[in-house]
């Protein structure tokens, strides 16, 4: 297996608006990130993935870009960005940007021109189709709810938006569009950034828009994921993008590839042929989300991970994660944020961190940050949350039931300010933050955990040190040890003469487990403060107990 710096890296995702405010306006910014780079260096981070900081009207928290080569005013200036890039590199770290090229903002100059008239040279840069004000071209639903089409009265046509109506989709069939996108990518790479996380890239190719979908439940707008995800022909665009941009630089590229399967790994991220270095898949996220309403299906979760671990061992590379800016807090979803908060947060960390791939940590995950239920829908910022809430109300759901759904699913749960210390506003800002901070910030914060050797933060530091010290976790094989166990996730990592076992109880109940050989193995890491020795093949793991052994 070929070695590469990005395979050996530990990555950390920053959501700039909620990371650290440097100028007292209640909004995180680039200078705030610079202030906390020493923290990330001490944590052991090699790569920082920075969520969008481009100029944007901020309908979807920066994923609606109005200028790819400028900085959102709330975050700072291009001078601030250059200072950040320099400071990251000075610490031996790398910086990835979010590359959002499925769509732009409706305020981007490209779309403003496109919308101005049917004969504008940029009209075909977006996807326009005929239809009446009351009848869109087809019945496709947007991922964010409602129709995927928006009517423009001035030109009497609709434009396609897979996401928000303020995020019109670019027409990748148009060669000029692709050329402009590639020029922009190379502009940033020439600036010295170290790569991209490529947003929503599996959606850039669409099925013919004449396609109407059957509505089994009578709804006017039908889920249309299959109409704009991984459509045949997409790899022609991806290979062209790689050839014109990525392949010219020593960079790290990570695709957000919702809907792909391991059998397609060679085209997406295979050695030599792959359009990118690695990819985020979503199969395990789907299993985790089901646990909001029912106990976590540990067996199914293991089956999903095994599929991807085995499937990509030789033909691709996994981007490992349990949290990101589009999810909820893992400890609130599949852990126990009350009785076993510390145990479950560390257990979930160990579960994924030693698998085959490059691990990503989302800001606040390393201290076990929890969901933040807000009292009113008007307290929420996320466009998808609000769209879904009002759609549920329109379909007859009560306000309280709709809010309970919001509390358990809103992306704003992971977008609240990072809790740095016990000072007002959690040390995030000297002003009232743009979103409310968690009520427990006085005890649940970075500073408190940095002083506690048994904290979640200390455990993450230990995992990072161990992963960096043992190349088995990067280049070794993977084997599920207990695929049928209903509570315990146990797997083997093996490389040359080294062998490790990872054992995690993913439930709030004790788990009887049988696994020979641990009585002679060395316990390398555990989340138990006073671990009991294992002296026989059958033993008990405490609720959310996690152990890592060297055999």
Task: Show which residues are catalytic.
Answer: 199, 256
User: Is the Cβ–Cβ distance between 158 and 135 less than 8 Å?
Assistant: no
35: part of which helix (H) or strand (E)? helix 30-35
Residues 6+ apart with CB under 8 A from 140: 147, 148, 149, 213, 221, 222, 224, 227, 228
Place of tokens 């540990």: 298
Distance CA 171, CA 101 (A): 10
Query: DSSP character for 378?
Result: G
137 within 8 A of 131, measured Cβ to Cβ: yes
| Contacting residues for 398 by C-beta, under 8 A, at least 6 apart | none
- Pair 199, 98: CB distance under 8 Å: yes
Q: Where are the beta strands (DSSP E) in 325-481?
A: 358-362, 477-480
How many CA atoms, within 13 angstroms, populate the side-chain half-sphere of residue 498? 15
State whether residue 113 is helix, strand or coil.
Answer: helix
Phi/psi for 201 (5° steps) reads -70, -25
Cβ atoms within 10 Å, residue 164: 23
Distance CA 58, CA 199 (A): 16
Q: Name residue 513's beta-bridge partners.
A: 539
Instruction: Return d(Cα 256, Cα 51) in angstroms, integer.
Output: 13
Q: For residue 384, give the 3-state DSSP assignment.
A: helix
The span from the CA of 355 to the CA of 353, in Å, is 6
**CA 346 to chain CA mean position, Å:** 19
Residue 56 and residue 62 in contact, taking contact as beta carbons nearer than 8 Å:
yes
- Phi, psi at residue 43, to the nearest 5°? -65, -30
CB 464, CB 344: distance < 8 Å: no
3-state helix vs strand vs coil in the chain, percent to 5? 35, 20, 50
User: What is the SS3 assignment for 221-255?
Assistant: CEECHHHCCCCCCHHHHHHHHHHHCHHHCCCEEEE
Task: State the greatest distance between any 2 C-alpha atoms of the chain, in Å, as a whole number.
Answer: 78
- What are the distances in angstroms from CA 217 to CA 220, 252, 338, 392, 401? 9, 43, 39, 15, 21
């Amino acid at each position: 297996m070929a070695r590469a710096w990005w395979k050996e890296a530990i990555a950390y995702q920053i959501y700039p608006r909620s990371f650290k405010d440097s100028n007292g306006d209640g909004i995180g910014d680039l200078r705030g990130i610079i202030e906390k780079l020493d923290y990330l260096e001490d944590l052991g981070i090699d790569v920082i993935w920075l969520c969008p900081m481009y100029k944007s009207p901020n309908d979807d928290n920066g994923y609606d870009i109005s200028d790819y080569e400028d900085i959102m005013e709330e975050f700072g200036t291009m001078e601030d960005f250059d200072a950040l890039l320099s400071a990251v590199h000075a610490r031996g770290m790398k910086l990835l940007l979010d590359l959002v090229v499925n769509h732009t903002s409706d305020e981007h100059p490209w779309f403003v021109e496109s919308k101005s008239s049917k004969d504008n040279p940029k009209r075909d840069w977006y996807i326009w189709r005929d239809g009446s004000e009351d009848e869109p071209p087809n019945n496709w639903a947007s991922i964010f709810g409602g129709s995927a089409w928006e009517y423009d009265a001035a030109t009497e046509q609709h434009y396609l938006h897979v996401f928000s109506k303020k995020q019109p989709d670019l027409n990748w069939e148009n060669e000029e569009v692709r050329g402009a996108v590639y020029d922009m990518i190379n502009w940033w790479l020439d600036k010295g950034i170290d790569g991209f996380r490529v947003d929503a890239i599996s959606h850039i190719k669409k099925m013919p828009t004449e396609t109407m979908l059957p509505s089994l439940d009578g709804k006017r707008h039908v889920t249309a994921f299959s109409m704009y995800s991984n459509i045949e022909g997409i790899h022609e665009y991806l290979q062209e993008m790689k050839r014109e941009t990525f392949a010219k630089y020593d960079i790290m590229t990570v695709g957000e590839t919702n809907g792909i399967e391991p059998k397609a790994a060679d085209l997406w991220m295979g050695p030599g042929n792959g359009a990118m270095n690695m990819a985020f898949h979503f199969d395990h996220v789907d299993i985790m989300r089901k646990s909001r309403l029912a106990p976590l299906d540990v067996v199914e979760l293991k089956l999903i991970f095994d599929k991807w671990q085995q499937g990509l061992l030789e033909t691709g590379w996994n981007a490992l994660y349990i949290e990101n800016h589009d999810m909820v807090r893992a400890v609130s979803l599949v852990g126990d944020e009350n009785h076993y908060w510390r145990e479950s947060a560390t257990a979930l960390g160990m579960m994924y961190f030693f698998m085959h791939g490059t691990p990503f940590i989302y800001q606040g995950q390393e201290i076990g940050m929890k969901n933040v239920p807000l009292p009113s829908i008007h307290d929420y910022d996320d466009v998808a949350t609000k769209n879904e809430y009002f759609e549920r109300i329109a379909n007859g759901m009560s306000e309280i039931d709709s809010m309970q759904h919001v509390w358990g699913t809103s992306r704003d749960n992971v977008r609240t300010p990072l809790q740095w210390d016990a000072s007002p506003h959690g040390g995030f800002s000297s002003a009232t933050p743009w979103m409310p901070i968690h009520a427990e910030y006085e005890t649940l914060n970075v500073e408190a955990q940095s002083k506690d050797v048994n904290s979640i933060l200390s455990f993450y530091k230990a995992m990072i040190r161990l992963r960096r010290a043992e190349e088995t976790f990067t280049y070794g094989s993977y084997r599920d040890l207990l695929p049928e166990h209903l509570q315990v996730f146990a797997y083997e990592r093996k490389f040359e003469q080294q062998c490790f076992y990872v054992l995690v109880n993913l439930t709030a109940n004790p788990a009887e487990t049988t696994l020979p050989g641990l009585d002679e193995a060395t316990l390398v890491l555990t989340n138990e403060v006073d671990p009991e020795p294992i002296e026989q093949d059958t033993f008990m793991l405490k609720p959310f107990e996690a152990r890592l052994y060297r055999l």
